[in-house]
Amino acid sequence: MIDVVLKKGKEKAVLHRHPWVFSGAIEPVKGKPANGEIIRLLNAKKEFLAYGFYNDQSRVAVRLLEWDENTPVDDNWFRDKVRTAVAGRAHILADGRTDTCRLIFSESDYLPGLIVDKYAGHLAVQVLTSGMQAAMPVIIDELNTLLKSESIFDKSDATSRAHEGLETTNVLLAGNQPPELVMVKENGIAYGINIAEGQKSGFYCDQRENRLTLANYARGKKVLDCFSYTGGFTLNSLQNGAVQVTSVDSSALALETLQENIRLNGFEDTKHDAIKSDVNVQLRKFRDEGEKFDIIVLDPPKYAPSRSALDRASRAYKDLNRLGMQLLNSGGLLATFSCSGAMDMETFKQVLAWAALDAGKQVQFVHQFHQPEDHPVRASFPEGEYLKGLLCRVW
C-alpha cells in the first residue's frame, strides 16, 4: 500500500476525524497511486494516521475511511458500512406508509461519495468519487444481498463527478430497467418517480418530515407551493384539506409528474393549478395582480454552492423571501428553506430578518426545519448539514 505523507502542522483535522485532506496539505506522493486507490496517510513523523481513497484530480486529495491501523479497508469493511447504514433506516420504512428514503448518505455514513436512495423495490445510486467507483462491485453485491432490489440504477451527478475526473453516468447496474415512473409512497401519499430523467436521483426525500409538518397548518388554507418539483408540499397540503393549492416550477417534466401524482392520489377534484414559470417572475406577477395566499412554501435550489458565493446567495434569498412575505395575508405562514450547506441557520435567520425589514413586515419564527434522520450529520463532518428552513408567521 502506498504511503501519503501530510505536511507538518496539517494533522489536526485528521486527528479530529474530519474525512477530507486537501491537496495542499500533503507532500508530493511517491509511487503514483491510481485514482481511487486506498492509501495509508502518515503524519510528518511518518506515523500512521488513517486509510483513505487517493485522487490527484480532486481538490480533496484523500478521503479518509478508517483511523484504526488494524482494521483494513477490505470488502468486509465496505459490507459492514453498507449493512449498518441500511439497518439504521429500518424504522422509517417500518409502518408501511413510507417505502422511499435515503439508505446511504456519503461521508455521513462513512462511505465518502456514495449516495443510495430507495424507491420502493428500486435503488438509485450516485457514485461521486473515484474510490467509491472502484468499490462499487462489492457494494452492489451487498445491497443485492440485503434488499433483493428489482433494479439498481446509477444516476451520478455530472458536476460532482467532473471534479473527480469521472464521466457522467446514467446506467443500469443490476436487475431490470426500472419503469419510466416507479411508484412509491411517502407518509401514505403516492408519487411516481422518474429515476432516469428526474432531478437528483428522482425525488427530494430530504423534505419528508417537513412536508408533514407544513401540512398540519393547511386545513382550509390557500397555499402557494413555489419550486414545487413533483409536488411534495402540494400533495401533503391537499391531503390535509387545503382549499386551494398553486404549484410553481420552471421544469415542465416536474410539473407533468406532479399532475400524474395528483391523479394517483385521487385529488383531481381539488382546486389545484400548476404554473410553469420562473418563481421570481411569477411572484412579481402575483404581486402586480394583488393576489394573496395564507401559506407560501419557498424551497429553491442551492443558491450558494460554496462559502465564497454566500454574499450573493444571501441577497437572492433575501429578495425571494421579501416577495414571499409581501404576498401573504396578514398572519399567514411562510415555509422557507435553504439547501445551501454554506448558509447556516443563524445566517438564514439574519437573511429573513432583513427580508422582513425590506418587506415592512413583522416576522415570528414558529418552527425550525431540518434534514431528516436518513440524512444524518456526522459529528466530525459538519459539512453534511445542508438543509434548513423556518416556518415564519408574517404580519
Alpha-helix runs per DSSP H in the chain: 12-15, 75-88, 90-93, 130-147, 158-163, 208-215, 232-239, 252-264, 279-289, 310-326, 345-359
227, 286, 293, 381: which one binds ligand SAH (CB under 6 A)? 227
Phi and psi based region of residue 10 (left: phi greater than 0; alpha: psi -120 to 50; beta: remaining) = alpha
**Whole-number minimum distance, CB 227 to ligand SAH, in Å?**
3
**Whole-number minimum distance, CB 381 to ligand SAH, in Å?**
24
Q: Does 369 bind ligand SAH (CB under 6 A)?
A: no
Q: How many CB atoms lie within 10 A of CB 23?
A: 14
Minimum CB distance to ligand SAH smaller for 64 or for 124: 124
CA max distance for the chain: 71
Q: Does 254 bind ligand SAH (CB under 6 A)?
A: yes
Minimum CB distance to ligand SAH smaller for 51 or for 204: 204
Alpha-carbon torsion, ordered 98, 99, 103, 105, to 10 deg: -60
Q: Does 251 bind ligand SAH (CB under 6 A)?
A: yes
Q: How many CB atoms lie within 10 A of CB 336?
A: 26
Phi and psi based region of residue 348 (left: phi greater than 0; alpha: psi -120 to 50; beta: remaining) = alpha
Minimum CB distance to ligand SAH smaller for 140 or for 351: 351
Q: How far apart are CA 129 and CA 141, in angstroms?
A: 19
Closest CA to 55 of 31, 30, 23, 27: 23
For 125, counting Cβ atoms within 10 Å of its Cβ (0-12 exposed, 13-18 middle, 19+ buried), the class is buried
* Residue number, nearest CB to ligand SAH: 232
**Whole-number minimum distance, CB 387 to ligand SAH, in Å?**
11
Choose the stretch contacting ligand SAH; rule: CB under 6 A; options: 108-116, 150-158, 247-255, 370-378: 247-255
Q: Does 137 bind ligand SAH (CB under 6 A)?
A: no
Choose the stretch contacting ligand SAH; rule: CB under 6 A; options: 25-33, 214-222, 274-282, 342-350: 274-282
Site for ligand SAH in 176-215 (CB under 6 A): 199, 204, 207
Catalytic residues: 339
Choose the stretch contacting ligand SAH; rule: CB under 6 A; options: 68-76, 105-113, 249-257, 383-391: 249-257
**Whole-number minimum distance, CB 124 to ligand SAH, in Å?**
15
Q: Does 250 bind ligand SAH (CB under 6 A)?
A: yes
The DSSP symbol for 6 reads B
Kindly list the residues in this chain that would bind ligand SAH in the complex (CB under 6 A).
Answer: 199, 204, 207, 227-230, 232-233, 249-251, 254, 278-280, 299, 301
